[in-house]
Amino acid sequence: MPTIGPDSRSARRFLADESESTSTADDIATRRLHARSIAMTATLVAAGATVIVAACAAYLLQPLAWPSTEGVVEHSTWVSGTAEESQGAAIAYRYVVDGAAYRSERLSLFASGGRANAGSGQWSWDERTLVERHAPGDPIEVRYDPNDPSRAVVVATWNMPGLWIAAGVLLLAWGMAAECWRRSRGPLSDEDLEQMGWRWGHPD
């Protein structure tokens, strides 16, 4: 039986260490690739949410740039909300633009107005104040679309709970994306990958 000399044992140990180092390096590279794919996905989700929120905000805030005229309130009430009616302010008003008379129940671009679609998307206390300050026969500021004067609103503001919630969601989404990128640049444990949303595991 041939005898294994010290040089042979050293060579085997060296090859084993090299193999282990290569395996560890491959494992780290794979983990980092997975981590970066998670971070990229999180970034794309945040970017997509930003585009959607920006489009919705641009639509809802259009009236801020519209011209205004003085209208007259026909009726004003607070709808408590039922199966057929939504809760919120319901105000009907009439106004005149370039000699043409119009009538509308829309409070904002958030809802079509009327008792069935009451509300303006504002905080409930702001809507109650709107009703209290505008009794039938009172003047009311009306903002109308210059390209379509029949399209008008009496509420033009960015201070809506929906917009605040959307802003909070965006901050959360971008914060998560930033955290994923931060983790992808540091040491990556199984726990890190799981917290980033990737279930890591080695086959048995």
136 in the same domain as 83: yes
Question: Does 47 reside within a domain?
Answer: yes
174 in the same domain as 136: no
146 in the same domain as 116: yes
Question: Does 203 reside within a domain?
Answer: no
Question: Does 138 reside within a domain?
Answer: yes
173 in the same domain as 103: no
Range of the domain at 178: 13-60+163-195
Strand spans (E) along the chain: 68-79, 88-97, 100-104, 139-145, 148-153
Question: Does 7 reside within a domain?
Answer: no
Phi-psi region of 88 (alpha: psi -120 to 50; beta: other; left: phi over 0): left
40 in the same domain as 82: no
77 in the same domain as 139: yes
Question: Does 169 reside within a domain?
Answer: yes
Report for 126-130, 155-159, 173-177: range of highest mean pLDDT: 173-177
Phi-psi region of 197 (alpha: psi -120 to 50; beta: other; left: phi over 0): left
145 in the same domain as 92: yes
Question: Does 8 reside within a domain?
Answer: no
Number of domains in the chain: 2
Residue with tokens 């199984």: 190
- Smallest CA-to-CA distance from 129 within 154, 102, 162, 96 is with 154
DSSP percent split of the chain into helix, strand, coil, nearest 5: 50, 20, 30
State residue 53's pLDDT score. 87
38 in the same domain as 104: no
Q: How confident is the model at residue 60 (pLDDT cuts 50, 70, 90)?
A: confident
The yes-or-no verdict on residue 113 having pLDDT over 80 is no
Among 118-127, 148-157, 173-182, the range scoring the smallest mean pLDDT is 118-127
Does pTM surpass 0.85?
Answer: no
151 in the same domain as 80: yes
The yes-or-no verdict on residue 24 having pLDDT over 80 is no
87 in the same domain as 36: no
152 in the same domain as 124: yes
Rounded Cα distance between 110 and 127, Å, is 13
**Which position has the higher pLDDT, 37 or 94?**
94
Three-state DSSP class for 117? strand
DSSP H or E stretch at residue 99: none
**Which position has the higher pLDDT, 15 or 131?**
131
State residue 99's pLDDT score. 93
Question: Does 120 reside within a domain?
Answer: yes
Rounded Cα distance between 55 and 150, Å, is 23
The yes-or-no verdict on residue 196 having pLDDT over 80 is no
153 in the same domain as 70: yes
Question: Does 4 reside within a domain?
Answer: no
